Homo-oligomer: A and B are copies of this chain.
């Protein structure tokens, strides 16, 4: 067994107990809501973590890139939702993946133009294409408002296209990350559900089956009053949590399962700062947590062994490979001598983890496994 001391820094460390607890909490929540969980693997991008999230060797997942779809399909996952509006140039690769593995890679679209292009693509001999219409439930990123007249038009285009099946609707209330007020998150969650359900009803009223009604973001799945009418819930960041979620009260610091192990490489006594070997690349430059937690910086600095926050330490400035940590007094130079290890709780774990090749899995103080990630496109 390896100890933390034996790892090269900077690197990602994931606490297996916290990870399991986070996974089980969300599985129980989905069960209580009466919906299937389709975890978004864009956060962990790891087969092992997806399996923990599902409590099974495979199951429905959500991906953010076709490379993820290919990676998970190669590991036996055969029910995959690719949840970024399909770029037409990606259809051949998606169809090839389906043909090669037998997995179903559902995709999303939100315009008549794309629906027509998908129909034209299917006409070239590609069958088994399964589309969902993306609904805008308030985030105003992509998707159609539930009452947009294009909704039945798209459905009609797809219904007329041999080889293409409209399987349902999906929406993502990403604006749930924009508040720390539980009542507001609940209102957003309820609006997310209502938008998806009403879009599905509109489609059904036009004669389309619409079996899938998919919603989700970690905060909305946790805060929704109920999910009647919804069939699938998507969430991702809950497997690791991060300061952005903690800043909104959606998790506690003790739930955060992924951290960046780093070495103290310098004592800048004049400036009153520790220098870490984790900088902008190892941590990312996401500072979203600071909206509601102004002292979060680029991440809280924690004890390497316990992952307890060494309050008030945070990484306040990053260069490519340097992180600067102001200390309130010189005693910290003795507490954290040059060469010490610390762990940095990420501001936004999806961004932080993306810089790393994989996870060192920590259990009872020992590194018990290494799990790879699938980065890129």
Residue numbers of A with Cβ under 8 A of B are 5, 8-11, 42, 64-66, 84-90, 93, 110-111, 113-114, 117, 136, 140-142, 145, 174, 263, 265-268, 270-271, 275, 277, 280-282, 284-287, 317, 319-322, 324, 337-339, 350-351, 354-357, 375-377
Contacts and interface: CB of A to CB of B under 8 A. Distances in A.
Contacts of A11: 377
Given A90-B8, A268-B142, A354-B281, A113 B337 contact: yes
A87 B9 contact: yes
A85 B265 contact: yes
A321 B9 contact: no
Contacts of A90: 8
A356 B281 CA distance: 12
Given A140-B270, A285-B285, A351-B280, A89 B9 contact: yes
Nearest to A93: B8
Given A266-B110, A284-B285, A87 B174 contact: no
A320 B113 contact: no
Nearest to A11: B377
A141 B275 contact: yes
Nearest to A271: B140
Contacts of A140: 268, 270-271
A377 B25 CA distance: 34
Contact of A350 (B64, B66, B113, B320): B320
A29 to B, nearest CB: 22
A276 to B, nearest CB: 9
Can you list the 3 inter-chain pairs with the closest CB atoms, starting with the nearest? A87-B263, A85-B265, A88-B339
A263 B89 contact: yes
A93 to B, nearest CB: 7
Contacts of A324: 141
Contacts of A263: 87-89
Contacts of A136: 268, 270
A89 B263 CA distance: 9
A297 B135 CA distance: 26
Contacts of A84: 265, 277, 321-322
